[in-house]
């Protein structure tokens, strides 16, 4: 595959992949540290042997790779996907299940923590592997992965009239093929007390080709109010293709929100966060949450202190309209909602 120029314009053979279908993007993803380093012209020292890669392999589709500047070890997109040796020496307070999610699994694949809304773990598959991911050790193999095995989950939602909103999460729910997604949405649509369907996904960002006409058709044919929470950490993730995919979602009447994770070296400065917020508003996306990093094994090198996070939010508040300032939150196991830090 060809390396792309820094302004995001594909050169050579890469251009076909950039225009390819989302499934081709997944198939063509880079799954190997050596290959990632070669594609991005990174120095040899980045190709160290890292044990954590065995549990959580490299995974970067071409459409995302094209937004990473070659030969720049500090690129804010690269840092999100590049395994580093620090992952193998995690401090003791970084654990496998930092949010104690296993305690909230009332049925395999369903997390019911907060009033009125339940989260469905629809798949363990993602279109990218983010090194800071708090679910990088989640027991996905215990979650249902077909419509048949979703039946008990759907029955549980049907039986609980207090649930108004279902969140599809994962993994990434938009890695499901359309037929499965359609069936799941239809099943949820037929539960009378449900009002809203929220999809937590990074796919419109990572592989914007996922926002197809068929997907939009499916999303607009349910009576449920659709909400997307996308996940962008840095403004450089929004290229033209992402912008147009977001516009197609917004113009279909879908509410769009963004969540970011505060990540050392990626977005832990006011300028980066301000640029991101401004660009999100241009793309009709409301900055929703800025998450304090969850202390998951392998992610300690991304940690930013809460003190610093609060200071950044104060700088954002001084520079931006109120609607463009995300809530800085942290999740504490056992609380009735996420906790707002600033």
Ligand X SMILES: *Cc1c(COP(=O)(O)O)cnc(C)c1O
By CB under 6 A, name the binding residues for ligand SF4: 126, 128-130, 133, 135, 170-172, 202, 231
Q: How far is the CB of 329 from ligand X (least distance, A)?
A: 8
Of 69 and 136, CB closest to ligand SF4: 136
DSSP letter string, 123-164? -S--SS--TT-TTTT--GGGS--SHHHHHHHHHHHHT-TT--
59 vs 257, beta carbon nearer ligand X: 257
Question: Residue 286 has which token pair?
Answer: 């409301």
Which partner from the list ligand X, ligand SF4, none does 113 bind, CB cut-off 5 to 8 Å by kind?
Answer: ligand X
* 167 makes contact with ligand X (CB under 6 A): yes
Q: Which of 111, 120, 261, 285 binds ligand X (CB under 6 A)?
A: 111
Radius of gyration of the chain measured on its C-alpha atoms: 19
Neighbours of 65 (CB within 10 A): 26
Check residue 113 for interaction with ligand X (CB under 6 A): yes
110-114 vs 117-121, strand pairing mode: antiparallel
Of 3 and 81, nearer to ligand SF4 (C-beta) is: 81
CB nearer ligand X, residue 83 or residue 171: 171
The one among 119, 194, 290, 316 contacting ligand X by CB under 6 A: 119
**Residue 296 near residue 94 (C-beta atoms within 8 A):** yes
Which CB, 82 or 261, lies closer to ligand X? 261
**Stretch (H or E) spanning 271:** helix 270-282
Question: With contacts defined by CB under 6 A, how many residues of the chain interact with ligand X?
Answer: 8
Torsion of CA 261, 262, 267, 273, to 10 degrees: 80
CB of 200 to ligand X, least distance (A): 8
Question: Mutual orientation of helices 270-282 and 306-319 as an angle, nearest 10°?
Answer: 50
Closest distance of CB 170 from ligand SF4, Å: 6
- Judge contact between 257 and 97, C-beta under 8 A: no
Question: Would you give the DSSP letter of residue 256?
Answer: E
If one asks whether residue 266 binds ligand X (CB under 6 A), the answer comes out as no
- Which of ligand X, ligand SF4, none sits in contact with 264, Cβ below 5 to 8 A by type? none
Give me the least distance between CB of 169 and ligand X, in Å please.
8
Could you give the CA distance from residue 330 to residue 310 in angstroms, rounded to a whole number? 12
- Closest to 228 in 3D by CA, of 285, 148, 280: 285
Contact residues toward ligand X (CB under 6 A) are: 111, 113-114, 117, 119, 167, 337-338
């Amino acid at each position: 595959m060809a390396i792309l120029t820094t302004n995001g314009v594909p050169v050579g053979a890469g251009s076909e992949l950039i225009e390819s279908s989302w499934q081709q993007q997944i198939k063509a993803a880079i799954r190997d540290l050596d290959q990632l380093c070669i594609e991005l012209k990174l120095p040899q020292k980045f190709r160290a042997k890292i044990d954590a890669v065995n549990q959580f392999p490299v995974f970067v589709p071409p459409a995302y790779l094209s937004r990473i500047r070659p030969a720049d070890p500090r690129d804010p997109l690269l840092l999100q996907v590049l395994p580093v040796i620090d992952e193998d020496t995690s401090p003791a307070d970084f654990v496998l299940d930092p949010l104690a999610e296993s305690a909230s699994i009332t049925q395999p694949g369903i997390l019911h923590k907060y009033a009125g809304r339940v989260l469905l773990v629809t798949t363990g598959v993602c279109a990218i592997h983010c090194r800071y991911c708090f679910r990088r050790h989640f027991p996905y193999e215990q979650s249902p992965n077909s419509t048949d095995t979703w039946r008990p989950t759907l029955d549980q939602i049907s039986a609980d009239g207090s649930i108004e909103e279902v969140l599809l999460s994962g993994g990434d729910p938009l890695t499901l093929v359309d037929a499965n997604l359609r069936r799941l949405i239809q099943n949820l649509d037929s539960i009378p007390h449900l009002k809203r369907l929220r999809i937590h996904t990074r796919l419109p960002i990572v592989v914007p080709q996922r926002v197809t006409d068929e997907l939009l058709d499916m999303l607009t044919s349910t009576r449920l109010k659709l909400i997307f929470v996308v996940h962008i950490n840095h403004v450089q993730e929004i290229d033209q293709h992402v912008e147009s995919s977001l516009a197609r979602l917004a113009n279909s009447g879908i509410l769009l929100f963004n969540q970011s994770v505060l990540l050392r070296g990626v977005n832990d400065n006011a300028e980066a966060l301000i640029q991101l917020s401004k660009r999100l508003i241009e793309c009709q996306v409301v900055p929703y949450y800025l998450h304090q990093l969850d202390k998951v094994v392998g992610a300690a090198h991304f940690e930013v202190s809460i003190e610093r996070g609060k200071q950044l939010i104060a700088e954002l508040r001084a520079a931006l309209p109120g609607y463009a300032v995300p809530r800085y939150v942290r999740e504490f196991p056992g609380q009735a909602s996420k906790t707002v830090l600033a």
